[in-house]
Structure 1
Amino acid sequence: MAHSTIQKDFYRESGKWLSGLQIIVRCINPNLHFIYIFRKAQKYRKTPILNLFWKMLLRHYQIKYGYQIYPETEIGEGLYLGHWGALVINPKVKIGKNCNIAQGVTIGQQNRGKNAGFPVIGDEVWIGTNAVIVGGITIGNNVLIAPNAYVNFNVPSHSVVMGNPGIIYPSETATKGYINHKI
């Protein structure tokens, strides 16, 4: 049985494959509710009337929950938002699958300098509270960005980044125990 992107996102939270009704019931959780609406807005981007409906609904919940994530943002399956509130992701950012993003995170554009552009973030990346990731940089797979870290440089796979300015520490088990229920 093929699972939908929404089912894969919800699986990350519970470790269980949920039916459509079970997903709707879980939408009492603001994080999951926002992910549900975000994925619907992505799915119907090319269907005029449904696009308008889901985009307006998404805008309402962006304001209500404090998430600034747009349907144009490429985010892989298995997205997990740990806590709700104050999250900003530029629409041109690309994020891989099985990623965790905590509250207070900013992932955005850098307008000038050698790293002008937008981040590309790999698979199985854990981004801690109030971390800032900016610029035309690449974050590898299996990377843990510690809370309050400032990252405006490339980060290789299998690393932990801590501090402001961020310092890279190699670690083959960077996200072990941090990213659960991988798809």
Structure 2
Amino acid sequence: MRDTERYPVKGRNSLYQVYDTVPFWKVVKNFVAIQAARYTPFLPMKNWLYRTFLRMKVGEGTAFALMVMPDIMYPERITVGKNCVIGYNTTILAHEYLIKEYRLGDVIIGDEVMIGANSTILPGVTIGDGAIVSAGTLVHKSVPEGSFVGGNPMQVIYTKEERSKREAENI
């Protein structure tokens, strides 16, 4: 399941009230930093932008592909471990604005995680060390360490033990 905090709103939908929940100038700063990072081909520069301007926690050796879209409202709630690959056009959300409430949740991506292109990670999710997320996956719940997951909605394809056994057979 996802670990999110829920905040009810009255009146108009929560997105319409966005600047009651997050400062306008924070969003502008984050937008500029994210757009610069999305288009730069220099991986160390991306990590520097994320760490410096967005206050994301990004481990050494982690590579964000082109067009990755971290959360624009609450990027400081995203942690990515060491030596990860975040695939092209992946979206990592730490918020969701709904009609009668908005939700916030930390996203924690462990060490040596591979996330395939065009995946979406929802708020409040933890992806365990060594996990693999197939391209195009909607990560709507936490991913066990070392497992291989995929699909929309996400399903476990192989557990850590099943993956280890398959890899041993293919040596």
TM score, norm. by length of structure 1:
0.55
**Larger RCO: Structure 1 or Structure 2 (Cα < 8 Å, ≥ 6 residues apart)?**
2
Partner of 2:116: 128
- Does residue 89 of structure 1 match 2:97? no
Residues 93, 107 of structure 2: 8 Å contact kept: yes
Paired amino acid for 2:68: L
- Kindly provide the CA deviation profile for residues 47-76 of structure 1, in whole angstroms up to 9, marking residues without a partner as x: xxxxxxxxxxxxxxxxxxxxxxx5411110
Unaligned 5+ runs, structure 1? 1-29, 46-69, 178-183
Q: Which AA in structure 2 matches 1:93?
A: I
Aligned CA distance change for structure 1 residues 39 and 128 (closer, same or farther; 3 Å)? closer
1:171 paired to 2:154:
no
Counting aligned pairs with the same residue, the percent is: 29
Q: Would you say the 8 A contact 1:137–1:152 is kept in 2?
A: yes
8 Å CA contact 1:38, 1:71 repeated in 2: no
Aligned position for 1:101: 86
Q: Is the 8 A contact 2:47 2:58 kept in 1?
A: no
1:1-183 aligned at under 5 Å gives the runs 30-31=40-41, 33=42, 35-41=43-49, 45=52, 70-81=53-64, 83-84=65-66, 86-90=67-71, 91=75, 92-111=77-96, 116-169=104-157, 170-172=159-161, 173=163
Q: TM (normalized to structure 2)?
A: 0.59
What is the alpha-carbon distance in structure 1 between the residues aligned to residue 107 and residue 48 of structure 2? 24
- 1-structure distance, mates of 2:80, 2:55: 12
**Aligned-pair distance for 1:118?**
2.7
**1:12 aligned residue:** none
Q: Is the 8 A contact 2:50 2:58 kept in 1?
A: no
Pair 1:40–1:137, CA change in 2 (3 A): closer
Residues 171/73 of structure 1: CA separation in 2 closer, same or farther (3 Å cut):
same
Instruction: Supply the distance in 2 between the matched residues of 1:156 and 1:39 (Cα, whole angstroms).
Output: 25
Structure 2, unmatched stretches of 5+, are: 1-39
Deviation string 1:94-136 (CA, Å, 9 cap, x unpaired) is 01001001111001124378x8413111001001010111111
Residue in 2 aligned with 1:4? Answer: none
Aligned residue identity for 2:70: I
Q: 1:75 touches 1:94 (CA, 8 Å); kept in 2?
A: yes
Residue type of the partner of 1:118?
Answer: D
State the Cα RMSD in Å. Answer: 2.7
